[in-house]
Amino acid sequence: MAGNALKTIVLTGASGGIGEALAAEYAAPGIRLALIARDPAKLEALAAVVRSKGGEAETATIDVRDRAALHDYLEDLDRRHPVDLIIANAGVTAGLGPDRSRESDEDADRQLDINYRGAVNAVTGVVEAMRLRGRGQIVLVASLAGMRALPDMPSYSSSKAALIAYGHSLRGWLKPFGVRVTIICPGFVTSPMSARHKGAKPFEMSAEKAARKMRRAIDGRRAFYAFPFLLATGIRLQNLLPPVLGDLFMGGFAAEIEPDPRYKKSRTPE
């Protein structure tokens, strides 16, 4: 960066557990954070934290499913302050229906729309400007569940697997243009989202610790980073097993996901 230019970072899902921790982790003099989420009160509180640490912050109350609104904001931001780094972090979870019935159509649609399409909407709002400048970094926050699907979270797992595939494709496309892509797959991180997960959560860590690990991977421009190490390694190894044996390994991750209070279903599966 030349002169007194600030590094501009876009963060979606900024009001969630990992999002808040990432904003606090990056907040510092020389950093401008563009915080995007749906809750304006939480965004303003987080912006105040960023400013208290010497950083600059602006907020945008946007649902990442609203492609037009998100693109309008990101394109305007990039004209004012060219984006150096975008972290597509927005995500939601849901599980099976009552008595292990199928997940609702609304839950499935919402997870695919936010976790995958929302991330694509964020990336496509800045990627062409980055490509033409010949610099920038895109970070996709996926999940270990995208590396090996959880039996009680079919749409969540598939949305994160799609995000991983998208990231690998982006990396191959953008590398010759000088734009770096980092895929991050966290395990269980303490947050309101994690609190709704009623089941085994091995090696669960605080959002602050997760944010520190994620920043090291981002700053190091790693192509792919999955953590915690032991759990990620176990998943990689079990993926080499025949499916019948791999399924036995995943049996220990049975869980019930409590409904997300931010969303109300208008109908239930027939």
In this structure, are residues 203 and 228 in contact, taking their beta carbons and an 8 Å threshold? yes
* Helix 17-26, helix 40-52: angle, nearest 10: 20
Query: Where do the domains of the chain lie?
Result: 7-257
Residues 192 and 259: their CA atoms lie apart, in Å, by 12
CA–CA gap between residue 156 and residue 95 (Å, rounded): 8
Active site residue 116: no
Cis check: omega of the bond before 192, within 30 degrees of 0: no
Q: What is the DSSP secondary structure assignment for residue 39, as one 8-state letter?
A: -
**3 pLDDT higher than 50:** no
Mean pLDDT for the chain overall: 92
Q: Which of 30-39, 146-155, 247-256 has the lowest mean pLDDT?
A: 247-256
Q: Looking at the domain 7-257, which fold is it? A: Rossmann fold (3.40.50)
pTM, entire model: 0.91
Question: Could you identify the residue written with the tokens 């037009």?
Answer: 68
Residue 248: pLDDT band (50, 70, 90) is: confident
> Which of 26, 156, 166, 225 does the annotation list as catalytic?
156
Q: Which residues pair with 59 in a beta bridge?
A: 35
191: alpha, beta or left? (left if phi > 0; alpha if psi -120 to 50): beta
Closest CA to 103 of 154, 69, 150: 154
50-74 tens-digit pLDDT: 999 999 999 999 999 999 999 999 9
Task: Return the percentage of the chain with pLDDT > 70, whole number.
Answer: 95
Long-range Cβ contact pairs of 109-115 (< 8 A, separation 24 or more)? 110/263, 111/155, 111/156, 111/159, 112/155, 112/158, 112/159, 112/162, 113/65, 114/64, 114/65, 114/90, 114/159, 115/90, 115/91, 115/156, 115/159, 115/160, 115/163
